[in-house]
Amino acid sequence: MAYRLKPRRAFFLFTALWMSLALLLAACGSAPAQPEAGPPPTTAPAAPPPTTAPAEPAAAAPEASTKSRLVFSGNQEPASIDVVTMSGNVNERQVAGQIFETLVYIDQSQTVYPGLALSWERSEDATVWTFELAQGVQWHDGAPFTAQSVVDYFTYVRDNGTVGTGPGQLKSVIGAVEALDDATVQLTLTAPRPDLLVELADPGMGIGNIANLEALGPDAGFNPVGTGPFKFREWIRGSEIVLERNPDWTWGSSMFQLDGPSLIEELIFRFTPEAQTRLATLEAGEVDFVDMLPFQDVARVRESGQFAVSGFLLPGMPQMNYMHTGLAPTDDLNVRKAIIYATDKQGIIDSVYFGMVEPAYGPLSRVFPEYEPALEEMYSYDPEQAMQLLDEAGWAMGADGVRTKDGQRLEVTIVENKSWNDWVYVLQANLQAVGFDAQVLTTQGPSNTEAIVSGSYQVPAMGDVFATASQMTRDWHSEGFGTFPSGHFLASAELDGMLKAAETELDPDTRKQMYSDIQIYIMDNALMVPIFELYFYAAHSNNLKGFIVDGTGFYKYFASAYFE
């Protein structure tokens, strides 16, 4: 006798099962609509920052709604939060920018605002800088913030063996640091630094609390104590970082246009590595602000009208591939030029980035005043030209579609940093089409760093975000070989000299010409394959207003944010 389910019970059981399945399949059917390709919004070219503080703008606190809890969603949880020992993790800077304050601030219009320093003066040769500090400032633990706090910070950066990527840029040029009185600090540099204010505005250059660092050691990164608009409250590892309003914060930068503390009472940072999940948290109403919107979703989200979508062009070195000049076959100039001609960057932009970015032409983003537009005419997508150059270089096409020379195959390895360099597969196809045996090596995080600095691969993908042209030095000067993010390995005294001279040039016109020469030199020597200007898209609730984007276009400050 077989055991049978009662018909009604069986029917219910399987109906429930199949309904669940049907619902899942229905969910598959509601896949995102294909976005319409359209040009990204443009950003006005940056103006050179003024060297004196602007007049205080009139404070105008907006009317806020009762909602005062803001949830921000980023892609990667930081390892710790300490401005002194800060890693390259962008989310670490994002959080630190709310807890710590910088001496000056720069917004997207490239205007310099007072921060902890109310005013500043520099010597003619840009080596001696004097800062007048805000009065009445307190650390979150109640201790007073004085000129000595700033002296302690710069002294620590100068003397300590290991510092983070923010202060690390200045470490080698910090000379004497002196408190002239309780509210005045004089910083003497060992070399001219005309762009010092831009560097000081980096959220990674927030003035760190050395007393806290010395008391807690490495644990200071889990108990950050700053002077900023938000205090650290809680860090639930793998889940969220919770900050709360600093009620004593009345000395905020005029950039925020606030009379008193932040309008947001609770600021929560969540980290969701999976891009689709990150977007879903916004659509489900769990978060108010999503960073790094996937390119394929930008048009759909924008057209839905449910959320505000902003695109920020990141200044620095555009997304590109270095070409290693010390390794065959990219040690041959004709081969390097052939790679540039063979690269269909518009194809990459259309197929991989849905038309949401713009083509790049050289080593400097077009938002800089030093950008050289003549580069746009230097190379075009021309596979025929690429093949002709390879023929001239002696690389003959083989029967298998791969060129050879003296028994050697035309092999190159493209290094990909996973989830950042999706274009490399199109580049691989482009190179294969003209006779390369191109392979892609996928790396991630530190393994990517290692692959690039090791100098073992011909065409590593790269991009760099910085706020001043003088930071080109770290990408192109030979002293950077073997350290991140350098990767072309052309030891050229000419290029090194040009970079160092431009870095300390004070006259804007001369400086512009110098950087123009540097860009032309780099592209004449085909040291890189420019791909596209990097845009980051963010989406947020339509009623979220008042947040400020910094000069790099990447970091957001939420002190003045509010819900309409």
Q: Which of residues 75-104 bind another protein (CB under 8 A)?
A: 77, 79-80, 85, 87-89
Query: Could you identify the residue written with the tokens 């940072």?
Result: 269
Q: 535 pairs with which residues across the strands?
A: 313
Helical spans, DSSP H, in 305-344: 333-342
Indicate which single residue of 138, 186, 296, 447 sits in contact with another protein (rule: CB under 8 A): 447
Residue 435 CA from chain centroid, whole number: 35
Indicate which single residue of 304, 444, 510, 543 sits in contact with another protein (rule: CB under 8 A): 444
Indicate which single residue of 15, 239, 408, 542 sits in contact with another protein (rule: CB under 8 A): 239
* β-bridge pairing 358-359 and 548-549: unpaired
Which of these ranges, 11-19, 304-312, 402-410, 495-503, lies near another protein under the rule CB under 8 A? 11-19
Residues 493-552 contacting another protein, CB under 8 A: none
Work out whether 7 is an interface residue with another protein (CB under 8 A). Answer: no
Work out whether 247 is an interface residue with another protein (CB under 8 A). Answer: no
Nearest residue (CB) to another protein, 113 versus 555: 555
CA distances from 310 to 68, 240, 360 (A): 22, 24, 20
Rounded least distance, CB 521 to another protein, Å: 26
Nearest residue (CB) to another protein, 60 versus 284: 284
Rg for the chain, CA atoms, rounded: 26
* β-bridge pairing 562-563 and 544-545: antiparallel
Work out whether 271 is an interface residue with another protein (CB under 8 A). Answer: yes
Helix (H) or strand (E) holding 180: strand 174-181
What CA–CA distance (Å, rounded) separates 6 from 446?
Answer: 60
Residues 123-182 contacting another protein, CB under 8 A: 161-165, 168-169, 171
Indicate which single residue of 44, 55, 237, 399 sits in contact with another protein (rule: CB under 8 A): 237
Indicate which single residue of 8, 124, 142, 285 sits in contact with another protein (rule: CB under 8 A): 285
- For helices 493-504 and 508-524, the axis angle rounded to 10 degrees is 160
Nearest residue (CB) to another protein, 435 versus 487: 487
What CA–CA distance (Å, rounded) separates 170 from 154?
Answer: 9
Nearest residue (CB) to another protein, 220 versus 514: 220
What CA–CA distance (Å, rounded) separates 485 from 165?
Answer: 12
Work out whether 303 is an interface residue with another protein (CB under 8 A). Answer: no
Rounded least distance, CB 75 to another protein, Å: 10
Residues 404-433 contacting another protein, CB under 8 A: none
Work out whether 60 is an interface residue with another protein (CB under 8 A). Answer: no
Contact between residue 298 and residue 281 where contact means Cβ atoms under 8 Å apart: no
Residues 29-48 contacting another protein, CB under 8 A: 30
Q: How many CB atoms lie within 10 A of CB 6?
A: 8
Nearest residue (CB) to another protein, 225 versus 526: 225
Contact between residue 279 and residue 306 where contact means Cβ atoms under 8 Å apart: no
The strand ranges marked E within 323-391 are 358-359
Nearest residue (CB) to another protein, 47 versus 236: 236
Residues 212-231 contacting another protein, CB under 8 A: 217-219, 221-222
What strands, in cross-sheet order, belong to the sheet with 396-397? 396-397, 403-405, 408-409
User: Which residues lie closer than 8 Å to 490 by C-beta, 6 or more apart?
Assistant: 325, 326, 478, 525, 527
Rounded least distance, CB 226 to another protein, Å: 18
Work out whether 15 is an interface residue with another protein (CB under 8 A). Answer: no
Nearest residue (CB) to another protein, 26 versus 58: 26
Rounded least distance, CB 279 to another protein, Å: 9
Residues 304-363 contacting another protein, CB under 8 A: none
What CA–CA distance (Å, rounded) separates 102 from 550?
Answer: 12
The answer to whether the peptide bond before residue 329 is cis (omega within 30 degrees of 0) is yes
Query: How many residues at the interface with another protein, by CB under 8 A?
Result: 71
Work out whether 399 is an interface residue with another protein (CB under 8 A). Answer: no
Of the candidates 355, 283, 256, which has an alpha carbon nearest to the alpha carbon of residue 539? 283
Indicate which single residue of 43, 319, 321, 448 sits in contact with another protein (rule: CB under 8 A): 448
